[in-house]
Structure 1
Amino acid sequence: MTEFAHDKIVPYTESTRSKKEQVAGMFDDIAPKYDFLNRFLSAGIDISWRRKALSQLKAIQPQQLLDVATGTGDVAIMAARMLHPAKIVGIDISEGMLELGRKKLLNLNLSQQIELQQGDSEAINFPDASFDAVTVAFGVRNFENLEQGLAEMLRVLRPGGKAVILEFSKPKIKGIQQLYNLYMGLVAPKMGGLFSKNKNAYQYLTDSVQHFPEGKHFTDVMNKIGYKETTCKKLSFGICSVYCGIK
């Protein structure tokens, strides 16, 4: 498996724990403020990003859907409302995030349709060809081994099934690029640290985005793993991208 620059980016550089362990601990720590900070730091645009990503699945009408790195279940909940699959499973390595997600499901009366369980994206605990669609929003950047995580997502997809990946990218338009770099480099880490009391988490966000293989580089990785008909659609001037691939 190829090692990518972002694979080595960790939340706590002084820690001897693996990236996976550090990321799990980081999300456990910031879980209570995570949803609020998503809305606040993106001015609510992250909701439309998720909606546009899920709209890529309307044509195939998936009945069994897996949401990888589900966090507190935002994508799973939106998928239930937009796509109406028979069953959605969300997996995440952070039990702290999942606990909050399960409370949301109870409040929304969605616990029968959506199941949230602790799981490793690089060793998905389901048989081959279990799902019609696999989604991951802002999660592949946190994989300890990007290719292994993508290969596992492909393995559990049924033939003809579709993967949809939403991830931050870097805008190339002058002016927008400078504003983005200022925001991601200074504002987001400062504000995220202020509200979550964990400055490392939002500095890690910036650093991992800067080192992530975006655009054609990422679709090339998907092609290497075995995805077909891969596409990349840029959103909000390139701040975010939706990647799709078929099994």
Structure 2
Amino acid sequence: MSKTVTPYQNQATKKEQVADMFNNISKTYDFLNHFMSLGIDIIWRKKAINELKQDKPKLILDVATGTGDFAFEALKMLKPEKIIGVDISAGMLSIADQKIKKRALGAQFEVKLGDSEKLPFEDNQFDAVTVAYGVRNFENLEKGLTDIQRVLKPGGKAVVLEFSKPKGFPVKQLYNFYFNYVTPGIGKLFSKDARAYTYLPESVAAFPDGEAFRTIMNKAGFRDTKVRPLMFGICSIYTGVK
């Protein structure tokens, strides 16, 4: 088991530190996300949401919903009856709330404060669960995935979008340079919390991606699990059925 990577080197749990970090960077998060991924994150999100097109889910849970970008895109593409977004950062959720009000989508999208490892929902409740760029911040990955599996209806699908580590030359080298040097530099410039953007490459490096993640999904009770690497493996989409 790799050591737990945390945003700050203090005594708080990873969960508390992640909540603090996202509260600190919530105001610049959207801008930096699109800027640092050169806007490609928008294309990746659409590909992940497309995995649910045939399932036509009516009720979707978006875990680690953040400022709600993934859920807004899912509303547009899948037209479910409702999406509930859950996150441990009140700062991020207040921005999601502002966006919901501005777009007058309160009836279709609501957000609530909650822990990914103790989701505040009944068993067998959701047709689909999505997590975009959130699983690597879970304190206990298997516990979080097991809880996602619990709240899914039988036959429901989980879709996880997460950064992974490209293996081939020269993408691997370029990616490492960009993530380890450019990203923290941009983060320092635009965000009051420079540590958040050095945590990003560290958390990706420590994350069990590819087949290792699929194995954890299987352990958490998912079946028909699949891995789909995007853009030379910079990012991956994982799917599993309850």
TM-score range, shorter chain: over 0.9
Matches within 5 A, 1:164-175: 164-175=159-170
- Aligned residue for 1:230? 225
- Aligned residue for 1:22? 17
C-alpha distance in structure 2 between counterparts of 1:193 and 1:241, whole Å: 27
Residue 47 (structure 2) aligned to one of 52, 61, 68: 52
Does 2:29 align with 1:9?
no
Segments ≥4 residues shifted beyond 3 Å: none
Question: Which moves more between the two structures, 146-155 or 185-194?
Answer: 185-194
- Aligned residue for 1:106? 101
Matches within 5 A, 1:56-71: 56-71=51-66
Does 2:91 align with 1:96?
yes
- Aligned residue for 1:177? 172
TM-score (norm 1): 0.97
Provide the secondary structure at the position in 2 that maps to 1:5: coil
Residue 41 (structure 1) aligned to one of 21, 29, 36: 36
C-alpha distance in structure 1 between counterparts of 2:47 and 2:204, whole Å: 20
Matches within 5 A, 1:186-205: 186-205=181-200
Does 2:163 align with 1:143?
no
- Aligned residue for 1:243? 238
Residue segments in structure 2 that go unaligned for 5+ positions in a row: none
Provide the secondary structure at the position in 2 that maps to 1:177: helix
Q: In the TM superposition, what is the alpha-carbon distance from 1:197 to its structure 2 partner?
A: 1.9
Identical residues among aligned pairs (%)? 55
Contact persistence 1:164–1:245 (CA under 8 A)? yes
Q: In the TM superposition, what is the alpha-carbon distance from 1:171 to its structure 2 partner?
A: 0.7
Q: In the TM superposition, what is the alpha-carbon distance from 1:5 to its structure 2 partner?
A: 2.1
C-alpha distance in structure 1 between counterparts of 2:40 and 2:122, whole Å: 35
C-alpha distance in structure 1 between counterparts of 2:206 and 2:112, whole Å: 29
C-alpha distance in structure 2 between counterparts of 1:49 and 1:205, whole Å: 18
- What is the Cα-based RMSD across aligned positions, in Å? 0.7
Q: In the TM superposition, what is the alpha-carbon distance from 1:113 to its structure 2 partner?
A: 0.3
Deviation string, structure 1 residues 141-166 (Cα, Å, up to 9, x no partner): 00000000000000000000000000
- Aligned residue for 2:122? 127
Q: In the TM superposition, what is the alpha-carbon distance from 1:243 to its structure 2 partner?
A: 0.2
C-alpha distance in structure 1 between counterparts of 2:224 and 2:140, whole Å: 23
C-alpha distance in structure 2 between counterparts of 1:39 and 1:152, whole Å: 30
Paired AA for residue 238 in structure 2: Y
Residue segments in structure 1 that go unaligned for 5+ positions in a row: none
Q: In the TM superposition, what is the alpha-carbon distance from 1:194 to its structure 2 partner?
A: 1.5
Provide the secondary structure at the position in 1 that maps to 2:55: coil
Paired AA for residue 28 in structure 1: N
Deviation string, structure 1 residues 105-137 (Cα, Å, up to 9, x no partner): 111111110001100000000000000000000
